[in-house]
Structure 1
């Protein structure tokens, strides 16, 4: 005899609840929320380019007219910017911008020019944390040309300071041939200038950026709170012969903006992995 397990009886309310959980949910945000997002993004861009010279944002009514948005959408946009730490409401003054963003060009400076020449402002100096020779780790071997496992490379950990304010923390792994020249130089400005001064000509680089959050060590070095947004940095620098000579990993503060301009349309098919 086949025994059938007796299923517990569900009430009508429980049955309706189960069906509700299984019903597809519309994840599309409402029109007000979408409008708030657009206004937030436009205001963020205006703040970045310095459109509000005295740091004061226009009144709600002016923002509504400027962006053709409802009062609710404008207020939600301002709340989003406030939560991002970009603005705050001050008694008697109105809504003020409170955080600067650092615009950093994502291009190599011309030979002989300091990187800081192309920054909106600020003097660039490194605070070296560690500088030593070590056997190249596998990840470094995979990114540098002509480097075999356990070949020596020069490892440099440093904090990049702009006007003594920590902006990024990096670890560079430099190929032995180039490192032998770099080792003799004083590292007192940007890394590209250090290479130039060592007769190493950086010609181009590959760069990957990814959103992340700061661990305790990174937070301490960058003077931000643990868990704060950061940009994770991965870079491979090539010399004039197309050789990958340096591999770098690091993190930038969340208020750093990497700018790229004049990007040409090129054929990338040769660099794309084949489809399987």
Structure 2
């Protein structure tokens, strides 16, 4: 069981990380240890633990005679669809989105894809698009999208210049919503190379089903996001976690 100073350090770390994310430290300099102790009603040991955790997370660097400085930017991405006709990058504080297409080809739908797209059978053709999502030429995510045949027949690779939602919009594919799940894992060698990060760095695995205005699942995507991409969701209704869990069989 962690000690009280470690638990307090973790709490202070989380609060400081949230402050860094919202840009509270304009000049990039965090308050002194004594100021942080007063602000968070924490011991010096807990504050030092918090700063060390931030350093290990790659968010700050501590320099003698200078103090603690933020060193890594984070990109906050909203967990909502952009309005029809709007570029997804308009939701970012800064940064220009471009895709680096790795593969654009028709393939027979694998079972895992066919079961997630409405009206698609195994081995029926679908469009497979592998690409790296760049923000200001920096790799932020890598995705594989499997687009249903009726919609895929309308898209043009030449039109894929920004985000995937814009590609669908300019191809007259109406998007109304999506289902999404994410999971934190360590980066494998291939993903690390594509995202230009170290092997084993934290990433978010991404699984998404995009639905049209009729509620039909038209696209299924699998991918990975760098650890410095933050997904921000809002207006989420209360969820009864107990009822949402799948009952385990009695033994």
TM range (shorter): over 0.9
Query: 1:144/1:271 Cα in 2 relative to 1: closer, same or farther (>3 Å)?
Result: farther
Q: Give structure 1 stretches of 5+ with no counterpart.
A: 1-27
Identify the residue that residue 114 of structure 2 maps to in structure 1: 141
Identify the residue that residue 204 of structure 1 maps to in structure 2: 177
Cα distance in 2 between the residues matched to 1:268 and 1:30:
29
Cα distance in 2 between the residues matched to 1:224 and 1:174:
28
| Counterpart among 167, 173, 178 of residue 194 in structure 1 | 167
- Pick the structure with more strand per residue: 2
Deviation sequence 1:116-142 (CA, Å, 0-9, x none): 111111111101010000000111011
Identify the residue that residue 175 of structure 1 maps to in structure 2: 148
Count of aligned positions: 249
Structure 2 residue 36 is the aligned partner of structure 1 residue 36: no
Shift of 1:92: 2.9
Shift of 1:185: 5.2
Instruction: Tell which structure's C-alpha radius of gyration is larger.
Output: 1
Cα distance in 2 between the residues matched to 1:267 and 1:211:
23
**Secondary structure in 1 matching 2:119:** coil
Identify the residue that residue 23 of structure 1 maps to in structure 2: none
TM-score, with structure 2 as normaliser: 0.94
Identify the residue that residue 233 of structure 2 maps to in structure 1: 260
Shift of 1:183: 3.5
Cα distance in 1 between the residues matched to 2:247 and 2:62:
53
Written as runs of structure 1 = structure 2, the 5 A alignment for 1:97-116 is 97-116=70-89
Cα distance in 2 between the residues matched to 1:66 and 1:89:
19
Cα distance in 2 between the residues matched to 1:184 and 1:29:
53
Identify the residue that residue 234 of structure 1 maps to in structure 2: 207
Structure 2 residue 123 is the aligned partner of structure 1 residue 150: yes
Cα distance in 2 between the residues matched to 1:49 and 1:176:
42
The answer to whether the 8 Å contact 1:185/1:197 transfers is: no
Deviation sequence 1:11-44 (CA, Å, 0-9, x none): xxxxxxxxxxxxxxxxx32211111111111111
**Secondary structure in 2 matching 1:109:** coil
Query: 1:267/1:59 Cα in 2 relative to 1: closer, same or farther (>3 Å)?
Result: closer
Query: 1:31/1:275 Cα in 2 relative to 1: closer, same or farther (>3 Å)?
Result: closer
